[in-house]
Structure 1
């Protein structure tokens, strides 16, 4: 059993993570960041939930670049093959559920 107070979590570097669970190759990790990630495509599906802060999620849909600002409580689902990159607006804490091979 674990109780995690996400607002108290910080990391020594951007996108530092605390692994919460690995359920048969599907990981749930809490990330802290204040810097953008990088454009990437996951090995499978990804669920990205903003627990604290705001994040501009940039993604490609049908070859067109788009973006949406995710507020605390918002969830972004990346289907297989969806290129995306997260740009935090200040500090952010996000919960990411994805295949272990995507990391």
Structure 2
């Protein structure tokens, strides 16, 4: 049993993570960041939940770059093959559920 106060979580570096659970190869991790990630495609599906802060999520559909501002409580679902990059606006805490070892 764990209780995690996500608003209190910080990491030593951007995109540092706290491993919460690994359920048969699907990981749940809490990330803290104040810097963008990098363009990437995950090895499988990804659920990206903004727990605190704001994130500009950039993604490509049919080769065209799109953008959406995600607020606290918003969820971004990246299906297989979705190229995307997260740009926090200030500090953000993000819950990510994805296949273990995914980018």
Alignment of 1:22-101 (within 5 A): 22-101=22-101
Aligned to 1:3: 3
**SS at structure 1 position matched to 2:7:** helix
TM-score, normalising length: structure 1: 0.99
TM-superposed CA distance for 1:101, in Å, is 2.5
Name the count of aligned residue pairs.
103
Structure 1, unpaired ranges of 5+: none
CA distance in structure 1 between the aligned counterparts of 2:21 and 2:101, rounded to whole angstroms: 14
**SS at structure 1 position matched to 2:101:** helix
Structure 2, unpaired ranges of 5+: none
TM-superposed CA distance for 1:20, in Å, is 0.2
TM-score, normalising length: structure 2: 0.99
**SS at structure 2 position matched to 1:102:** coil
Name the Cα RMSD after superposition. 0.5
CA distance in structure 1 between the aligned counterparts of 2:12 and 2:44, rounded to whole angstroms: 28
